[in-house]
Chain A
Amino acid sequence: KNQVEQSPQSLIILEGKNCTLQCNYTVSPFSNLRWYKQDTGRGPVSLTIMTFSENTKSNGRYTATLDADTKQSSLHITASQLSDSASYICVVRDGGYNKLIFGAGTRLAVHP
């Protein structure tokens, strides 16, 4: 069964600290992996999109990694800001049915 699992479920960090969010998937065949940021009461916004040949992709203070062999991805946030408080959703595109499969998200809270 195609699944995307994220950990931790929630995380609290202090402003200025770094953090790493994890994503494991069992989607096959794999097409690409996306990270989205969803602020409370808003729709998800795309941060990165990576194909199987890409190991790392950055978007400002956000850096995503992908290991297609172990089917794992991570999202690293550097020097966190209060505005980083949001849910971060890992999404994998199924290369067979061409559908997006969503993880449940990691809820990040950045405290001053």
Chain B
Amino acid sequence: SAVISQKPSRDICQRGTSLTIQCQVDSQVTMMFWYRQQPGQSLTLIATANQGSEATYESGFVIDKFPISRPNLTFSTLTVSNMSPEDSSIYLCSVVKSSGLVTDTQYFGPGTRLTVL
């Protein structure tokens, strides 16, 4: 298994500011992802965090808005830049300790609840 912690657990921010969310895993993992979960909705993949290189972003998400770092196999950050109320959401870190199987379990962190005023 993988134990994932996220900081902060929640925050209230003013529009126009930026927030960096940290994701720490208790063991080395192959893959790390960032998701967004808006109220009452399903999870949406923002990007795959790649160690030592630029993240791979999904359609509708761009690096300028959601810069991501992954300096090693256990840590990643997601920054939500120039925030607006529409960015209010839960942001979740997710990891896979891949054995190469498509049935590998994907683990999720507890999430960071962001409110933008």
CA distance A100 to B106 in the complex (A): 10
> Are A102 and B106 closer than 8 Å at their CB atoms?
no
Chain A residue numbers with a CB within 8 Å of B42 are 4, 89, 102-105
Chain A: how many interface residues by the 8 Å CB criterion? Answer: 23
Chain A nearest CB, measured from B31 CB (Å): 11
Q: Which residue of A lies closest to B43 (CB)?
A: A102
Q: Which residues of B sit under 8 angstroms from A41, Cβ to Cβ?
A: 110-111, 113
Question: Measured between C-beta atoms, what is the minimum distance from B61 to chain A in Å?
Answer: 14
Partner of B102, one of A4, A31, A89, A105: A31
Q: Mark B32-54, 1 if CB is under 8 A from A, else 0.
A: 00000000111111000000000
A interface with B by C-beta (< 8 Å): 4, 31-32, 34, 36, 41-46, 49, 51, 89, 93, 95, 98-100, 102-105
The interface of chain B, by Cβ under 8 A from chain A, is 4, 40-45, 92, 94, 102-103, 105-111, 113
